[in-house]
């Protein structure tokens, strides 16, 4: 059903080679905006607020509820996570399919979040965040049928969702390592934080699904879906631009 809707969506708007030309134009627009608007790298860093950062750094021992709250807050305000998940569920109508894809993303997220922190695997946060921005671009292009038009193949959406879940979790792990958490109660606090992330994800997805449900009933969903994914793609390019500029300016 998922692939069928995307194929219908691609053919609904354009035929032949016109789709790649239109999408390519938007890609160039997104890249240009990324270059001109990427003047502040810290504004879009993948992490937590300054106040939460101070609390995390000063915490010693097990603090389950505060870390559940911090995890939920991180997901509810994590625009990069939410943009990617919006792209993932954009053409998913059955709750079963939504559950499968969200679970794949969540599993990937928790694997790298926990292993990255506990094994102290650190990579430049700017590089990871740029890849996270790319994940938004990738999903928008996938929704627009770009890969089928350009290469004649459809990437495995489940594998991609799990893979980008790994990247998203690793991005947060890299930031947490920068905060130098106390080893006292570290595992319990990390598990609590991740539990909070899943709570936040459920709440955010519930809101998104409610809005998407109303939108789909209006009858203009297919007509405006192309524009929505184009905007999502350009926002992904902006996220990439901020992080790339930040990497070279650090």
Report domain extents, the chain.
Answer: 2-249
Q: 143-169 pLDDT, tens per residue?
A: 988 888 888 888 899 999 999 999 988
d(CA 171, CA 34): 20
pLDDT higher than 90, residue 2? no
Q: Which two tokens stand for residue 29?
A: 């627009």
Q: What is the mean pLDDT of residues 59-85?
A: 86
Within 10 A of 131 (CB to CB), how many other CB atoms are there?
Answer: 18
Q: Report, as an integer, the average pLDDT of 52-69.
A: 82
| pLDDT over 70, % of the chain | 79
Q: For position 27, what pLDDT does the model report?
A: 54
Tokens standing for 67? 């870390």
What CA–CA distance (Å, rounded) separates 146 from 159?
18
36 CB-contact burial (10 Å; exposed 0-12 / middle 13-18 / buried 19+)? exposed
pLDDT in tens, 184-225: 888 898 899 889 988 998 898 888 999 888 888 887 888 888
Quote the mean pLDDT of the chain: 80
The 10 Å Cβ neighbour count of residue 248 is 8
Tell me phi and psi for residue 121, to 5 degrees: -90, 115
Q: Per-residue pLDDT for 16 more than 70?
A: no
Give pLDDT, residue 41. Answer: 43
Q: Do 103 and 156 meet the contact criterion of CB atoms below 8 Å apart?
A: no
CB burial class (10 A; 0-12, 13-18, 19+) of residue 17? exposed
Q: For 109-131, how does the pLDDT look when each residue is reduced to its tens digit (9 = 90+)? A: 899 999 998 888 878 888 888 99
């Amino acid at each position: 059903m998922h692939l069928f809707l995307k194929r219908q969506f691609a053919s609904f708007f354009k035929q032949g080679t016109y789709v790649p030309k239109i999408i390519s134009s938007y890609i160039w627009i997104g890249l240009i905006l990324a270059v001109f608007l990427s003047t502040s790298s810290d504004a879009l860093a993948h992490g937590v607020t300054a106040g939460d950062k101070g609390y995390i750094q000063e915490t010693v021992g097990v603090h389950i509820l505060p870390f559940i709250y911090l995890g939920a807050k991180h997901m509810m305000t994590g625009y990069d996570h939410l943009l990617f998940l919006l792209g993932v569920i954009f053409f998913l109508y059955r709750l079963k399919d939504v559950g499968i894809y969200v679970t794949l993303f969540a599993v990937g997220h928790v694997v790298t979040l926990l292993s990255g922190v506990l094994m102290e695997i650190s990579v430049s946060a700017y590089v990871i965040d740029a890849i996270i921005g790319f994940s938004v671009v990738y999903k928008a292009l996938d929704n627009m049928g770009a890969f089928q038009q350009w290469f004649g193949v459809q990437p495995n959406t489940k594998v991609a969702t799990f893979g980008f879940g790994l990247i998203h979790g690793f991005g947060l792990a890299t930031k947490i390592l920068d905060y130098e958490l106390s080893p006292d109660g570290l595992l319990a606090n990390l598990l609590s934080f991740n539990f909070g992330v899943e709570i936040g994800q459920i709440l955010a997805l519930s809101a998104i699904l409610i809005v998407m449900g109303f939108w789909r009933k209006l009858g203009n969903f297919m007509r405006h879906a192309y524009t929505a994914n184009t905007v999502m793609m350009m926002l992904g390019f902006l996220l990439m631009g901020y992080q790339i500029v930040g990497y070279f300016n650090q």
